[in-house]
Amino acid sequence: MVCRICSREVVEVLDLGYSPPANSLLDFQEQKIASFPLVLQYCKSCSNLQLKDCLESNELYKHYFYLTPNSTTLNEHYEYLTNFLISKKYISKDSKVLEIGSNVGNYLSHIRKFVKETIGVDPAENIAKLANAKGIKTICDFFSFDFAQNLKKSNGEYDSIIARHCFAHNSSPHDLLKGAKEVLSKDGFVIIENAYALNTIENNEFDQIYHEHMFYYSIQSISVALEMNGLKLVDILISLVHGGSIVFIAEHIKEKNLVSNSVETHLEYEKSRLNEYSISNFSNNAFKLKKDLKNMINISNKKNNKIYTYGATAKGNTLLNFVGLDYKNIATCIDSTNIKQGKYLPGSKIKILNENFAFDNPPDCFLLTAWNYKDEIITKVRDMGNVDSTFIVPFPKLHVI
């Protein structure tokens, strides 16, 4: 058991049992799907948190259902991020921008008015097709060092290489970073956004752990990975999106890199908070939530209360499978993404229906599996005239609204 960043020994810190790939929805309830262990490991040396078992990418992406939703929370975040990138001159109107894992192209369509040109790369065929149909130029492929070499030959170098919430989805960060460095212009920037390991740990968000998330990056671990590949962390931006995210800005290692003060400040804070003690608390809290949530749902089931989950999310599947909740406990799962509706959640076998169903047949209670969109969802439900349903919010602390 070694760290996939620094190759030193790791320790096992949380075992969530077996779970099917969280974004592989089922076409029918009895469809067979393989489950794989979900075990988190920690490297004391570089502070890396990683999954013990990484699935092959074709296992994860052949039936991929995550489409970046259109949401006010995300649009506000895009603006916040873009303003930061422009004000710090990490992008400009002369920038050639490459986005890795660009999904349906929402961020590229937001950013393209501020830069010279954009191109996206995404491995999911159905998703790249949707992006191209919207006029967002997207290559359907896995980004890797080999891919980057070919791209450089055909398109030249890029000034900004953006990877938002996809970096942790790759089992070989060194290959990704080597690729990014290969195709990065001399004074360009690599911009990596991820769930922040410190938030994941401090907010007890064990539901961030699923097979696609092979790494949980911190300032310490990303710095080590970057420097092993000739890149230097020069700035960071912390945001609240997706339960706490961090944007890492890196450039080529130069004779003198200009590093923002916020890197040092946050690094010191992180070192004091992200350690063996906090990680062992995180693990204990996961098992406590499992017990408390299961009790809460059991009591509702006994009263014959109708419960729906809100959000057919990957994190929701980790939560349901770890807690041991399924279609016998929860009547249905509500989700606004068209292509998910009519399918079933892997493991819990709960059927996914559209929002109109919940408006016409309001439940006693929603379990908010998409708790990161909590305010938006509650407002939507209340605006449609449903003032009675309650909401179970599992994180950062289990509570009912």
CB-nearer residue toward Zn ion: 42 or 210? 42
Using CB under 5 A, pick the residue from 19, 23, 48, 321 that binds Zn ion: 48
Report in angstroms how near the CB of residue 8 gets to Zn ion at its nearest. Answer: 5
Candidate ranges 41-49, 247-255, 257-265, 368-376; the one touching Zn ion (CB under 5 A): 41-49
Binding piece for Zn ion, criterion CB under 5 A, among 35-43, 140-148, 315-323, 392-400? 35-43
Pick between residue 43 and residue 184 the one whose CB is nearest to Zn ion: 43
| Cβ-proximal residues to 391 (8 Å cutoff; 6+ apart), any chain | 310, 365, 366, 368, 374, 377, 378, 400, 401
Q: What are phi and psi of 78, to 5 degrees?
A: -55, -40
In the 3-class helix/strand/coil scheme, how is the chain assigned residue by residue?
Answer: CECCCCCCECEEEEEEEEECCCCCCECCCCCCCCCEEEEEEECCCCCCEEECCCCCHHHHHCCCCCCCCCCHHHHHHHHHHHHHHHHCCCCCCCCEEEEECCCCCHHHHHHHHHCCEEEEEECCHHHHHHHHHCCCCEEECCCCHHHHHHHHHHHCCEEEEEEECCHHHCCCHHHHHHHHHHHEEEEEEEEEEEECHHHHHHCCCHHHCCCCCCEECCHHHHHHHHHCCCEEEEEEEEECHHHCEEEEEEEECCCCCCCCHHHHHHHHHHHHHCCHHHHHHHHHHHHHHHHHHHHHHHHHHHCCCCEEEECCCHHHHHHHHHHCCCCCCCCEEECCCHHHCCCECCCCCCEEECHHHHHHCCCCEEEECCHHHHHHHHHHHHHCCCCCCEEEECCCCCEEC
- Supply the minimum distance, in Å, between the C-beta of residue 6 and Zn ion: 3
Smallest gap from residue 110 Cβ to Zn ion (A)? 35
Per CB under 5 A, contacts with Zn ion among 221-280 are none
User: Which residue's CB is nearer to Zn ion, number 53 or number 76?
Assistant: 53
User: Cβ 278 to Zn ion, closest distance in Å?
Assistant: 17
Contact between 345 and Zn ion by CB under 5 A: the answer reads no
Among 40, 46, 131, 345, binds Zn ion (CB under 5 A): 46
Count of beta carbons in the 10 Å neighbourhood of residue 273: 13
Count the site residues for Zn ion by CB under 5 A. Answer: 7
Nearer to Zn ion, 43 or 74 (CB): 43
In angstroms, what is the minimal distance from the CB of 47 to Zn ion? 7
Please report whether residue 6 would count as binding Zn ion according to CB under 5 A. yes
Contact mark string toward Zn ion, 119..148, x via CB under 5 A: ------------------------------
- Do residues 42 and 4 make contact, with C-beta atoms less than 8 angstroms apart? no
The owner of tokens 């490297």 is 43
Pick the closer one to Zn ion by CB: 73 or 171: 171
Nearer Cβ to Zn ion, position 109 or 171? 171
Nearest to 217 by CA among 39, 47, 22, 9: 47
Q: How far is the CB of 209 from Zn ion (least distance, A)?
A: 18
Pick 50 or 82: Cβ nearer Zn ion: 50
5 binds Zn ion per the rule CB under 5 A: yes
3 is an interface residue for Zn ion by CB under 5 A: yes
Interaction between residue 350 and Zn ion (CB under 5 A):
no
7 vs 295, which CB is nearer to Zn ion? Answer: 7
Q: Provide the minimum distance between the beta carbon of 222 and Zn ion in the complex, in angstroms, as a whole number.
A: 11
When the beta carbons of 6 and 140 are compared against Zn ion, the nearer one is 6
Q: Which one of the spans 48-56, 80-88, 339-347, 373-381 is the region binding Zn ion (CB under 5 A)?
A: 48-56
- Among the listed residues 14, 25, 43, 241, the single contact to Zn ion using CB under 5 A: 43
Query: Which residue lies nearer to Zn ion by CB, 12 or 388?
Result: 12
C-beta of 45 vs 144, nearer to Zn ion: 45
Pairing status of strand 215-216 against strand 49-51 = antiparallel
3 state DSSP class of 159: strand
Q: Which part of the chain contacts Zn ion (CB under 5 A), choosing from 39-47, 83-91, 108-116, 202-210?
A: 39-47
The nearest distance, CB 309 to Zn ion, in angstroms, is: 36
Which residues lie near Zn ion (CB under 5 A)? 3, 5-6, 43, 45-46, 48
